[in-house]
């Protein structure tokens, strides 16, 4: 039945591809033109959206599309060379038209058209463009270098708290600003006295918009549990055009965070890349040292873990580092005696220098066998216990090869008696196993798109007295309009694990309409999701990567008492 359904959809996509309807989308009846979208026609971002200009004045006769000064926004690449040939699309209400039809326009000139509304009334309109400098003026991150202190930013008050008992009388700082914004005074070059309050002014690239921030040595109050909802989007990038990550069939991405950087490992033997965890701005490649990067992950204590991929009988080497610039150090080495490969996915909860549980999923082998085992490493009071192979074949659960048909087994907490979570294609059932390795709860994917989704990307972390599980639904078929989706569950009380993945009482946050950037074909439905609590305990981050959809992004929230 599934093959027939897929064949029908394939034929349907071919039939519809032969039609060439006008670009008209239904919008609110009160306004004929609701937006104008500008698209590159040349260069490295050809066919990518530059900007979508929302129109608020229904009576306007002239529409000036604001083109960003730089693209990507955090780059130094000016948009001037592209202004004379920009594809423009209009979003119109039903029965409204623009003549002649919109095509490629020179946005340095005035372009005139006749607009006809739904009542048949006509008027002349003008569409042009103007390069605009950014109005963003945020101080996104702030941390002292010596002593190392990460600032806690309260966006509601623009107060940055430095939690420290040290002398902060003369310190330099590392900061992240909105792209092309400036700060006065500049804490990166001027050592300041943070024993007293310091006020900074951040000015946007346009030179007009600005905000003041106050840095003070204090400890803000927390809410008693969880985070201040909702999670707010940090960035959403085209992984290929925006993040310069090649898009191919070998991609098996895994994610980690360390020292304010989001680390992306493609699992193909290349050195992992790192990006600013607040903005997504690319920094470079990490110092890999002698480690081999089959996969990465990160714990709750500011440590990045790196592991090699290893076949049966091979030596599994786990390395750890606290900085993208420092060479990773050996953490633990053991022989993989499971008879199955491992090292494509590794997950951890806790702090590997204190108490933690590390899980390496053992994958199936195409045409040979499925897998029902995973390798567990427990750390107690900083002591690494001997790895254990956990066999759950008695449950009937079994998965295939990495990265698409395998799973991510994730620990529910640092206490192994609290069990594990896993999910894999094509059952797409989120399963909770209790400490006795018995199925205690299962949440089905009740969507009609389940056949086109791969929900094998999971992660767990503890944050502000709550335990959370993140799940990413990777798209198998982005070219058929199925995009990635992100869900976050509060798993502190296992009794809340009811209903399905979309309606469970445990569901805390969802982003079921994530932007994706590749819709032409299907390559490898691989991906990863990561929960990354800040080391100071005041902020929670959730990151995702969908290879098929060529999208990478992140969300964040704090737990500061407002």
Q: Over the stretch 474-504, which tens digit does the pLDDT of each residue have? A: 999 999 999 999 999 999 999 999 999 999 9
The pLDDT of 52-80, averaged and rounded, is: 94
- Please check the confidence at residue 248 and state whether its pLDDT lies above 90: no
Cβ-proximal residues to 122 (8 Å cutoff; 6+ apart), any chain: 114, 115, 116
Higher-confidence residue of 522 and 250: namely 250
Q: Within a 10 A sphere around the Cβ of 64, how many other Cβ atoms?
A: 16
Cβ 453 vs Cβ 447: under 8 Å: yes
Task: Output the pLDDT for position 243.
Answer: 86
- Of 139, 152, 142, the C-alpha closest to 560 is 152
Q: Over the stretch 447-474, which tens digit does the pLDDT of each residue have? A: 999 999 999 999 999 999 999 999 999 9
Residues of the chain with CATH 2.120.10.10: 232-558
Task: Output the pLDDT for position 187.
Answer: 98
What mean pLDDT is reported for the chain? 93
Q: Over the stretch 344-356, which tens digit does the pLDDT of each residue have? A: 999 999 999 999 9
Task: Output the pLDDT for position 13.
Answer: 45
Q: What is the CATH number assigned to the segment(s) 139-217? A: 2.60.40.2340
Q: What are the angstrom distances between the C-alpha of 108 and each of 79, 111, 129, 217?
A: 12, 9, 6, 50
Cβ 96 vs Cβ 26: under 8 Å: no
Cβ 69 vs Cβ 24: under 8 Å: no
286: tokens are 């990490």
The reported pTM is 0.85
The pLDDT of 300-322, averaged and rounded, is: 98
Q: What is the CATH number assigned to the segment(s) 232-558? A: 2.120.10.10
Higher-confidence residue of 30 and 549: namely 549
For the CA atoms of 322, 323, 329, 334, the dihedral, rounded to the nearest 10 degrees, stands at 70
The pLDDT of 497-524, averaged and rounded, is: 91
- Please check the confidence at residue 84 and state whether its pLDDT lies above 60: yes
Q: Over the stretch 113-127, which tens digit does the pLDDT of each residue have? A: 999 999 999 999 999
* % residues pLDDT > 70 (the chain): 94
Task: Output the pLDDT for position 5.
Answer: 38
Burial 390-416 (b: 16+ CB within 10 A, else e): bebeeeebbbbbbbbbbbbbbbbbbee
The pLDDT of 130-142, averaged and rounded, is: 97
Q: Over the stretch 187-226, which tens digit does the pLDDT of each residue have? A: 999 999 999 999 999 999 999 999 999 999 999 999 999 9
* SS3 of 246-296: CCCCCCCCEEEEECCEEEEECCCCCCCEEEECCCCCEEEECCCCCCCCCEE
- Please check the confidence at residue 4 and state whether its pLDDT lies above 50: no
Higher-confidence residue of 370 and 72: namely 370
Cβ 316 vs Cβ 343: under 8 Å: yes
CA angle 505, 549, 257 (to 5 degrees): 70
Q: What is the CATH number assigned to the segment(s) 22-132? A: 2.60.40.2340
Task: Output the pLDDT for position 94.
Answer: 93
Q: How confident is the model at residue 23 (pLDDT cuts 50, 70, 90)?
A: very low
Task: Output the pLDDT for position 22.
Answer: 41
Q: For residues 63 and 173, what is the distance between their CA atoms, to the nearest angstrom?
A: 43
């Amino acid at each position: 039945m599934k093959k027939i359904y897929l064949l029908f959809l394939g034929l349907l996509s071919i039939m519809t591809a032969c039609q060439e309807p006008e670009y008209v989308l239904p919008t609110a009846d009160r306004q004929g033109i609701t937006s104008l979208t500008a698209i590159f026609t040349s260069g490295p971002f050809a066919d990518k959206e530059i900007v979508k200009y929302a129109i608020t004045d229904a009576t306007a006769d002239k529409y000036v599309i604001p083109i960003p000064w730089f693209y990507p926004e955090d780059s130094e690449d000016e948009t001037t060379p592209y202004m004379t040939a920009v594809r423009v699309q209009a979003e119109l209400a039903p029965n409204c038209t623009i003549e002649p039809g919109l095509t490629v326009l020179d946005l340095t000139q005035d372009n005139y058209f006749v607009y006809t509304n739904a009542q048949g009334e006509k008027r002349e309109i003008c569409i042009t463009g103007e390069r605009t400098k950014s109005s963003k003026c945020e101080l996104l991150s702030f941390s002292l270098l010596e002593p190392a202190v990460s600032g806690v930013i309260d966006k509601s008050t623009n107060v940055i708290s430095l939690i420290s008992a040290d002398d902060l009388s003369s310190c330099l700082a590392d900061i992240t600003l909105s792209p092309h914004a400036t700060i006065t005074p500049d804490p990166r070059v001027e050592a300041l006295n943070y024993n007293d309050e310091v006020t900074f002014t951040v000015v946007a690239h346009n030179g007009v918009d600005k905000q003041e921030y106050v840095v003070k040595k204090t400890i803000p109050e927390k809410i008693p549990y969880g985070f201040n909802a909702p999670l707010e989007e940090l960035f959403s990038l085209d992984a290929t055009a925006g993040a310069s990550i090649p898009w191919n069939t070998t991609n098996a991405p895994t994610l980690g965070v360390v020292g304010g950087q989001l680390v992306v490992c493609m699992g193909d033997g290349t050195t992992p890349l790192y990006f600013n965890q607040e903005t997504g701005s690319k920094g470079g490649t990490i110092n890999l040292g002698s480690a081999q990067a089959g996969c990465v992950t990160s714990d709750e204590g500011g440590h990045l873990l790196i592991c090699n991929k290893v076949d049966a009988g091979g030596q599994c080497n786990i390395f750890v580092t606290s900085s993208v610039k420092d060479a990773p150090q050996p953490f633990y080495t053991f022989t993989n005696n499971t008879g199955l490969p491992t090292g494509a996915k590794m997950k951890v909860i806790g702090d590997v220098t204190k108490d933690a549980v590390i899980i390496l999923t053992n994958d199936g082998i195409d045409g040979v066998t499925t897998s029902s085992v995973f390798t567990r490493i427990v750390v107690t009071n900083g002591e690494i216990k001997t790895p254990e192979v956990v066999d759950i074949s008695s449950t009937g659960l079994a998965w295939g090869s990495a990265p698409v048909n395998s799973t991510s087994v994730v620990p529910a907490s640092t206490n192994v008696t609290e069990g594990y979570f896993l999910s894999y294609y094509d059952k797409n059932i989120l399963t909770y196993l209790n400490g006795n390795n018995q199925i205690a709860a299962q949440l089905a994917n009740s969507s009609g798109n389940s056949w086109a989704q791969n929900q094998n990307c999971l992660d767990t972390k503890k944050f502000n007295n709550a335990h959370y599980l993140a799940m990413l639904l990777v798209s198998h078929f982005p070219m058929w309009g199925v995009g990635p989706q992100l869900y976050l569950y509060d798993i502190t009380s296992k009794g809340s694990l009811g209903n399905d993945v979309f309606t469970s009482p445990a569901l805390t946050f969802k982003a079921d309409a994530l932007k994706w950037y590749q819709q032409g074909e299907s390559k490898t439905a691989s991906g990863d999701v990561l929960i990354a609590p800040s080391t100071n305990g005041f902020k929670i981050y959730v990151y995702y990567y969908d290879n098929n959809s060529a999208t990478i992004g992140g969300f964040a929230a704090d737990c500061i008492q407002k």
